[in-house]
Homo-oligomer: A and B are copies of this chain.
Amino acid sequence: MTLPERQLANAIRALAMDAVQAANSGHPGMPMGMADVATVLYSDYLKFDPTDPKWADRDRFVLSAGHGSMLAYATLHLSGYARPTIDDIRNFRQLHSPCAGHPENFELEGVETTTGPLGQGLATSVGMAIAERHLNAIYGDELVDHRTWVIAGDGCLMEGINHEAIGLAGHLQLGRLIVLWDDNKITIDGSTDLSTSEDVKARYAATGWHVESCDGHDPADIRRAIDAALADNRPSLIACRTIIGFGAPNKQGTSATHGSPLGGDEVAAARAELDWPHEPFVVPSDVASAWAAFGEKGKKLHAEWSGRLANHEKKKEFEDRVSGAVAPGDAFKAYLDGLVADPPKVATRKASENALTALTADIAALVGGSADLTGSNNTKTSSTKPLTKDDYSGRYVYYGIREFGMAAAMNGMALHGGVVPYGGTFLVFADYCRAAIRLSALQKQRVVYVMTHDSIGLGEDGPTHQPIEHLQSLRAMPNLLVMRPADAVETAECWAIALAQKERPSLLALTRQNLPPVRHDVTENLCAKGAYRLRAANASRRVVLVATGSEVSLALAVADQLEAAGQGADVVSMVSTELFDEQDAGYRADILPDDALLVSIEAGTTFGWERYTGRDGMRFGIDSFGASAPIEDLFKHFGLTADAIAPQILARLGS
């Protein structure tokens, strides 16, 4: 290389400060601070082919400090990806530009994961690194042999999820995960001294990480540190000592460069300071050529890899795995048939285990786990031996008491591809991982959340463990498929639906308590319509009872009492409000007719059920926190029994 390396890094700096200035919003400080590190990474280490951003054996690069998105856009542009173009960068943060305020994987192929919610990029990368080692254990170095690189800031390290993520990575000894920490000692509020006194490196070392430090503005020192990381079999943290906003002579090293444009004067001063006399958005040809050359090595490696794949005995299997195509097979079919032959009275968490036993036998890509509730979530099957540091071929991750870390890791596994992750915790602890569930939904990833103990039906553990608002609060989230099955057949159907969702996560809400079978045929996946008429009124229909999960059998009992009083009542199982809302108006009107009293029954908040009952319907649920008691006492206490509900409906009907 004949150009000074600093000039290659300055291309990142200039694009960052110019794009932020043009948008009049954004974060120049991080890209300018980490430009030298990124340049070293792209020039000598990162394995990528800009002509095929989805090459299965590419290194994954995660910009966990997502506010520094211009670093990602600049490096993708400079290193030869088709997008972003320089015009995309000119339109940074404008409507329809792929260069969004934070990097969005659905906007740009070179962006491996959506980042911005702090800490999650790094936690997601742990899942990528797990998936890589898992597939490596199955397909070998010939096909799977790549690294996961992360740039993280102080925010990513201070967030609680960092502890969960690095604990998991250290425990699983994910040596191919390397985190480049932008150690600039500045947060939004000012110096890190305002809020932390932590010895970060000692903390990482305590959790089984290899730790290095380097001068983040000295390419040779950066290379030394990375080489040491490559030589170690533990995950590595490299503390890159940097100056935020490096090159902006009057503002660098201060939080003023973090989240605001530098201003015209300071941009001009930085141009002088950096010896970068070029117009905004202009990259001189020598710099552009040097950057473009970085991608050549990867193209060659990609070609060699393609050669190995072409001759590999597992070529077809590998390609299928990477494609993400999964389908229930013979074991699942046999299981469904058995449900008809011998309908079980089981908890839906147990029904989920039974379905999973078949599905994990059918589908090798399924990788399960639980946040230390394996026996409660019923997530482990005989097909899923533990995935450990000594055997990455396992298909069951003991995530530990790390709900958020689990969810983020599952996002990473799904994003990596080749595996379909599912994992369990109690529904109430959806609150602990909600921010990662949101990123599953935003990123359109097929992650399956197995959330058990889904109501007061869990009994004695009491209000801290009893979901009340959770179902509705999760249904409110865009692009998340919430399903609450009523028995073993519906649970199996929900699993089939979840695995068929290539562009959204699913969340299964499952009971602790046993439920009677309500469905006795499996000829059609009725849950796929979201809601369906489980039983039609016998007498002339006056009421439609809409229930979910454990309250479907309750609704049947209510209907019995109404019918006994001469009032016809349909019973509708509304497994998924989202799927129901997607049906055509005719179907929806048939299920929820205007001429009947519409009644919802769900052992959770009634908030939001007006969507289906209207203001004039009736809603039975729980609008307070729960209580600690045996299950039967609780359902009675909260008025969720047929004897409590039916008379109220009859009173409303005036009969």
- Seen from chain A, the residues whose Cβ lies within 8 Å of a Cβ on chain B are 23, 25-26, 66-67, 93-97, 100-102, 104, 114-118, 154-155, 158-164, 167-168, 170-171, 187-189, 194-200, 202-203, 205-208, 370, 372-376, 386, 398-405, 428-429, 431-432, 434-435, 438-439, 441-442, 459-465, 468-469, 472-479, 605, 607-608, 610-611, 614-616, 623-625, 627-630, 633-634, 637
Select from chain B the residue with minimum beta-carbon distance to A156.
Answer: B401
B611 touches A198 (CB 8 A): no
- Measured in the bound complex, the distance between the Cα atoms of B559 and A412 in whole Å is 47
A476 touches B605 (CB 8 A): yes
With contacts A171-B195, A198-B170, A435-B432 known, is A372 near B625, CB below 8 A?
no
Chain B residues whose C-beta falls within 8 Å of the C-beta of A627 in the assembled complex: 95, 100
Determine which residue in A163, A208, A611, A629 has the highest number of CB atoms from chain B within 10 A of its CB, and name it: A163
- Measured in the bound complex, the distance between the Cα atoms of B625 and A477 in whole Å is 9
- Measured in the bound complex, the distance between the Cα atoms of B189 and A196 in whole Å is 33
Chain B residues whose C-beta falls within 8 Å of the C-beta of A189 in the assembled complex: 370, 372-375, 398
B158 touches A400 (CB 8 A): yes
- Measured in the bound complex, the distance between the Cα atoms of B403 and A161 in whole Å is 11
Chain B residues whose C-beta falls within 8 Å of the C-beta of A461 in the assembled complex: 67, 101-102, 116
A435 touches B442 (CB 8 A): no
B605 touches A478 (CB 8 A): yes
With contacts A188-B372, A442-B464, A472-B476 known, is A637 near B95, CB below 8 A?
yes
Listed by A's residue number, 15 A-B pairs whose Cβ atoms lie within 8 Å are A94-B628, A100-B462, A102-B461, A104-B462, A158-B372, A159-B160, A160-B160, A199-B206, A429-B435, A431-B434, A431-B438, A442-B625, A469-B476, A479-B624, A607-B611
B460 touches A23 (CB 8 A): yes
Smallest beta-carbon distance A449→chain B, Å: 15
A623 touches B478 (CB 8 A): yes
Chain B residues whose C-beta falls within 8 Å of the C-beta of A25 in the assembled complex: 459-460
B114 touches A464 (CB 8 A): yes
Q: Oligomeric state, in number of copies?
A: 2
Chain B residues whose C-beta falls within 8 Å of the C-beta of A386 in the assembled complex: 194
B155 touches A401 (CB 8 A): yes
- Measured in the bound complex, the distance between the Cα atoms of B479 and A371 in whole Å is 28
- Measured in the bound complex, the distance between the Cα atoms of B464 and A93 in whole Å is 13
Selected contact of A464 from candidates B117, B463, B468, B633, CB within 8 Å? B117
- Measured in the bound complex, the distance between the Cα atoms of B199 and A199 in whole Å is 14
Determine which residue in A374, A461, A633 has the highest number of CB atoms from chain B within 10 A of its CB, and name it: A461
With contacts A102-B462, A171-B196, A207-B198 known, is A159 near B479, CB below 8 A?
no
Select from chain B the residue with minimum beta-carbon distance to A159.
Answer: B401
- Measured in the bound complex, the distance between the Cα atoms of B441 and A162 in whole Å is 27
Select from chain B the residue with minimum beta-carbon distance to A474.
Answer: B473
A469 touches B478 (CB 8 A): yes
What are the 4 A-B residue pairs with the smallest beta carbon separation, nearest first? A160-B160, A195-B400, A163-B163, A116-B464
With contacts A23-B460, A372-B188, A627-B95 known, is A159 near B164, CB below 8 A?
yes
B195 touches A159 (CB 8 A): no
Chain B residues whose C-beta falls within 8 Å of the C-beta of A159 in the assembled complex: 160, 163-164, 401-403, 432
Chain B residues whose C-beta falls within 8 Å of the C-beta of A402 in the assembled complex: 158-160, 195
Selected contact of A164 from candidates B158, B374, B403, CB within 8 Å? B158
Chain B residues whose C-beta falls within 8 Å of the C-beta of A158 in the assembled complex: 163-164, 167, 372, 400-402
Selected contact of A205 from candidates B202, B429, B469, CB within 8 Å? B202
Select from chain B the residue with minimum beta-carbon distance to A437.
Answer: B431
A101 touches B623 (CB 8 A): no
Chain B residues whose C-beta falls within 8 Å of the C-beta of A472 in the assembled complex: 473, 476, 607-608
A187 touches B400 (CB 8 A): yes
Chain B residues whose C-beta falls within 8 Å of the C-beta of A170 in the assembled complex: 197-198
With A96-B629, A197-B208, A476-B605 known, 5 other A-B pairs at CB within 8 A are A101-B459, A117-B429, A160-B404, A198-B206, A431-B435
- Measured in the bound complex, the distance between the Cα atoms of B160 and A168 in whole Å is 11
Select from chain B the residue with minimum beta-carbon distance to A172.
Answer: B197
Chain B residues whose C-beta falls within 8 Å of the C-beta of A633 in the assembled complex: 94-95
Chain B residues whose C-beta falls within 8 Å of the C-beta of A634 in the assembled complex: 95
B66 touches A464 (CB 8 A): yes
- Measured in the bound complex, the distance between the Cα atoms of B203 and A203 in whole Å is 5
- Measured in the bound complex, the distance between the Cα atoms of B364 and A448 in whole Å is 49
Select from chain B the residue with minimum beta-carbon distance to A607.
Answer: B476
Smallest beta-carbon distance A604→chain B, Å: 9
Chain B residues whose C-beta falls within 8 Å of the C-beta of A615 in the assembled complex: 610-611, 614-615
Smallest beta-carbon distance A609→chain B, Å: 9
Smallest beta-carbon distance A159→chain B, Å: 6
B203 touches A94 (CB 8 A): no
- Measured in the bound complex, the distance between the Cα atoms of B198 and A161 in whole Å is 15
